[in-house]
Amino acid sequence: MRLVNTRVFRSLAVLLIAGGFILSEQLRPFVPSRWGPGGIRITHLLNRFPLLFHVNDKAATGTPNLSAGSDALTAIKASLAAWGNIQTSAVRFADIQLTSVESPMAGDGTNLITMADTPANREVLGGDRDTGTLALTRLVFGVTNGKISDADILVNPRYRFSTTLDAGTFDLQSVITHELGHVLGCDHASALNDTMFFQIAEQSSYQRYLSPDSVAFVSFTYPSVDHPIPIGNI
């Protein structure tokens, strides 16, 4: 995890989580995102589920950096389903809603996924085509309890994406699935085959699917009352 920028708004903090920067020296299971010297875990209250995401409407028609024939909305829905269909977890998502909003505003309470090419989005994502972040998750949460009140995903307009694994593109579904892990409070993993691994190659799609560590993360962080995880003593 890279802390790109941290600003305090009254009792709230803004945390930007980006991919592709840090490699741990040892392999670890899932790593919860934490805040401050005390290591407060960053999570959603269970009563926020099903979590509603608004998607910028330009994704529905296809942004210029999305390969022809790709379906961004279907990919986003599949990513939400990957995290929201785990029986041992209480995580659920509402049907997405389209919005004309292109850039997130900290603390507006609206969870936004945007691929729009705006100065505000470019400023947050930073860098040029080869140095910027593919996508970034911005979380707004309470500094005393770590409870998330706002989560936004920004996809970098400088890079080319597809949902069909076209040459020279990154898989949008894999990227969104990874970023949703951050939305739920999971940090980067160091295993190469993990959904939350911090890098992705062009035409790679394995991060579309949740790794066992990612399933364990949502199951232990947001346990299902109806389908508890069977745990034994040793």
Model confidence band, residue 8 (pLDDT cutoffs 50, 70, 90): very low
DSSP letters, 43-106, are B--GGGPSBP-EEETHHHH--TTBPTT--HHHHHHHHHHHHHT-TTB---BPPPEEES--S--T
Sort strands 148-155 and 135-142 into parallel, antiparallel or unpaired: antiparallel
Neighbours of 75 (CB within 10 A): 24
Contacts with 132 (C-beta within 8 Å, 6 or more apart), sequence order: 125, 126, 156, 158, 159
Q: What is the pLDDT of residues 89-108, one digit of tens each?
A: 999 999 999 999 999 987 78
Chosen CATH of 2-221 out of 3.40.640.10, 3.40.50.1000, 1.10.3720.10, 3.40.390.10: 3.40.390.10
Alpha carbon distance, N-terminus to C-terminus of the chain = 33
pLDDT surpasses 50 at 51: yes
pLDDT band, very low/low/confident/very high, at 134 (cuts 50, 70, 90): very high
- Residue 212 CA to residue 196 CA, distance in Å, equals 11
With a cut of 70, say whether residue 81 has pLDDT above it: yes
| Residue 128 confidence class, pLDDT cut points 50, 70, 90 | low
Q: How far apart are CA 82 and CA 73, in angstroms?
A: 14
Query: Using an 8 Å Cβ cutoff, are 121 and 154 in contact?
Result: yes
Per-residue pLDDT, averaged over 75-92, amounts to: 98
The answer, yes or no, to whether the previous bond of 29 is cis (omega within 30 of 0) is no
What's the pTM?
0.89
Q: How confident is the model at residue 231 (pLDDT cuts 50, 70, 90)?
A: low
Q: Are 230 and 217 in contact (CB under 8 A)?
A: no
What is the residue-averaged pLDDT of the chain?
87
Q: Which residues make beta-bridge pairs with 32?
A: 186
